Structure 1
Amino acid sequence: VYPIPTRYSYYLGDTKQNSTSMEYTLSASYYQKDKWSIIWPGAETITVPANDTFKVDISLVVPNDLQTGNYQGFITFEGKTHTVNAPVSFVVKKEIDQKDSLVLIQGKQSDDILFGNGYVKGAFDMANRYMAGDWRQYYFDIQDDSINSAAIELSWKTDDTNLSVFVMDPKGRIVQTNMPSGVFGHFLGWPSLDWLGNSIFSQGGGFFPVKNKDNTSTILYVPINQTGTYTLLAHSTLFGGNSTTEPIVLAAKFSNISSEIQSIQNNSNKTEIIPNSIENVTTSEFSDELIHNDSQITIQNNADDFSFNIGLTVGIGIGIAIGVVLFLILRQKPK
Structure 2
Amino acid sequence: MRIIASIQYLRGLAASAVVVHHAAARYDLPFHAGAAGVDMFFVISGFIMWLVTRKDEANAATFLKDRLVRIVPMYWFATAVLAIAAALRPNLFPLDHPLPWHMIQSLLFVPHYVPETGQALPLLAQGWTLNYEMFFYTLFGLVLLSSATRQLWSITAALAACVTVGLFVKPSDFLLHTYTSPLLLEFLAGIWLAHAWTKDRWPSAALGWVSLCVGAVALLFVELAGAPAEGSFRVVLWGVPAFLIVSGTVTIERGGQLPRSAVLHLLGNGSYSIYLTHTLSMTLIALIVEKLGFSPGPWIYLLTIAGGLLIGTLCFLWVERPFTAFIRNVTRARGFRRTAAVS
TM-score with structure 1 length normalisation?
Answer: 0.19
Q: Where is the strand percentage greater, Structure 1 or Structure 2?
A: 1
Which structure has the highest helix share of the two? 2
